[in-house]
């Protein structure tokens, strides 16, 4: 028997499937609202068939569309058209991003017409590490402006694991995005007791304190950041947030203190913004 070889093609789906649709399908769903769903992408006017497949989350690569075939929607019932398994040699996966077009999520009745399982057999492997999967899922929702959806997932995971670094950061990020600053402070304060060298935790904690108008505590955390963090990549961004907080309060002394700190950086945009604040002092 002749052996078949399989290869996987990974394609960034930013514009490749961004086509006009003319069908009864309702193309009104963003990819991040279709995780673990069978979906259809729009087709061009010159095409008669629609591409369909399954959207899932790959913890390492992010949200992904796995192409499974095409659909003929011209008849009374949907018809699934797939390649012969004896000739199929490739698996096509498309990474989804901000420019991915809206899609149609197949309904239960449509998936039955197409003889599709609720979920593909291969999906389970991507959820093998439950906490890592939930942290990645929450991160995806945070990145797409849905911290409320992220929070529901992340709080459940937090009840099971209070040590996962990505989970802790994303949970605090969700709280900050939802203006629940005291909740973010509690999560990050506990996290830093276990991971006192984590720069991201310090950055997010300073942000929470500044937004909660607790600048004295924010300054103390900044000092700990400088003294204890192994990764100081965000140190000047954090100093900038402090300078901006004093600018908003029209506290000239506090502003200049942190403006000087920002000035030590080589990050031109921060320095430029600081100078703009000086020029606009009294108009804030």
Tens-digit pLDDT profile for residues 187-206: 999 999 999 999 999 999 99
pLDDT confidence of residue 19: 41
pLDDT of residue 55 exceeding 60: yes
Compute the chain's Rg from CA coordinates: 24
pLDDT of residue 110 exceeding 50: yes
Distance CA 53, CA 100 (A): 15
Mean pLDDT score, 81-110: 83
Angle at 44 between CA 141 and CA 99, to 5 degrees: 25
pLDDT confidence of residue 73: 87
Name all contacts of 71-80 with Cβ < 8 Å and 24+ positions apart: 71/40, 71/114, 72/48, 73/23, 73/24, 73/25, 74/48, 77/113, 78/110, 78/113, 78/114, 80/52, 80/114, 80/115, 80/116
Mean pLDDT score, 44-69: 95
pLDDT confidence of residue 12: 47
Query: How much of the chain exceeds pLDDT 70, in percent?
Result: 89
Question: Mean of the per-residue pLDDT values for the chain?
Answer: 91
- Provide the β-strand partners of residue 96: 13
C-beta neighbour count of 198 within 10 angstroms: 22
Distance CA 43, CA 18 (A): 8
SS3 of residue 45 by DSSP: coil
Mean pLDDT score, 93-102: 96
Distance CA 136, CA 131 (A): 9
Mean pLDDT score, 95-124: 96
Eight-class DSSP state of 100? P
**Of 20 and 179, the one with more pLDDT:** 179
The 10s digit of each residue's pLDDT in 225-268 is 999 999 999 999 999 999 999 999 999 999 999 999 999 998 99
Q: Would you give the distance in Å from CA 281 to the centre of its chain?
A: 36
pLDDT of residue 83 exceeding 70: no
Mean pLDDT score, 212-218: 98
C-beta neighbour count of 120 within 10 angstroms: 15
**Of 75 and 20, the one with more pLDDT:** 75
pLDDT confidence of residue 90: 67
The 10s digit of each residue's pLDDT in 2-46 is 444 444 444 544 344 444 434 579 999 999 999 999 999 999 989
Domains and CATH numbers, the chain: 7-126 (no CATH), 130-279 (1.25.40.10)
pLDDT confidence of residue 89: 55
- Provide the β-strand partners of residue 39: 53, 105
Query: Are 118 and 52 within 8 A, CB to CB?
Result: no
């Amino acid at each position: 028997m002749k052996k078949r070889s399989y290869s996987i093609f990974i394609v960034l789906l930013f514009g490749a499937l961004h086509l006009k649709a003319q069908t009864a399908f309702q193309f009104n769903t963003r990819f991040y609202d279709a995780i673990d769903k069978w979906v259809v992408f729009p087709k061009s006017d010159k095409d008669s068939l629609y591409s369909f497949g399954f959207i899932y989350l790959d913890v390492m690569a992010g949200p992904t569309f796995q192409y499974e075939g095409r659909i003929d929607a011209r008849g009374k019932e949907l018809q699934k058209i797939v390649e012969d398994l004896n000739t199929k040699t490739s698996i096509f996966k498309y990474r989804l991003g901000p420019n991915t077009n809206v899609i149609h999520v197949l309904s239960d009745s449509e998936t039955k017409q197409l003889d599709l399982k609720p979920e593909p057999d291969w999906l389970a492997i991507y959820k093998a590490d439950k906490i890592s999967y939930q942290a990645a899922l929450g991160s995806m929702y945070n990145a797409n402006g849905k911290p409320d959806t992220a929070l529901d997932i992340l709080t459940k995971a937090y009840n099971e694991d209070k040590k996962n670094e990505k989970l802790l950061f994303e949970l605090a990020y969700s709280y900050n995005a939802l203006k629940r600053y005291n909740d973010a402070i509690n999560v990050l304060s506990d996290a830093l007791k276990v991971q006192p060298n984590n720069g991201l935790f310090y950055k997010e904690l300073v942000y929470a304190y500044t937004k909660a108008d607790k600048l004295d505590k924010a300054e103390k955390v900044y000092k700990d950041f400088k003294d204890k963090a192994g990764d100081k990549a965000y140190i000047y961004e954090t100093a900038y947030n402090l300078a901006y907080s004093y600018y908003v309060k029209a506290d000239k002394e506090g502003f200049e203190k942190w403006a000087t700190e920002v000035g030590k950086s080589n990050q031109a945009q921060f320095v430029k913004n600081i100078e703009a604040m000086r020029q606009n002092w009294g108009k804030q």
